[in-house]
Amino acid sequence: MFCAEGKYHFFFGDETAIGFFDDARKKICFPEKKYIGILELNEAYQDLPERLGLLVDIVPCTGENAEHSIQLLHQLEPEVWELWKDGIFHLTGERSRVLPFRAELKKIGIPDSKILIY
| Close Cβ partners of 45 (under 8 Å, ≥ 6 residues apart) | 15, 18
Cβ(40)–Cβ(18) under 8 Å?
no
pLDDT, tens digit, for every residue of 44-102? Answer: 899 999 999 888 999 988 767 899 999 998 898 887 777 777 789 999 988 999 999 99
Is residue 117 very low, low, confident or very high in pLDDT (cuts 50, 70, 90)? very high
Burial of 42 (C-beta count, 10 Å sphere; 0-12/13-18/19+): exposed
Closest CA to 39 of 24, 18, 23: 18
What pLDDT shows up at residue 70? 93
Distance of CA 53 to the CA centre of its chain: 15
Residue 30 has pLDDT above 70, yes or no: no
What pLDDT shows up at residue 1? 63
pLDDT over 90 for what percent of the chain?
A: 40
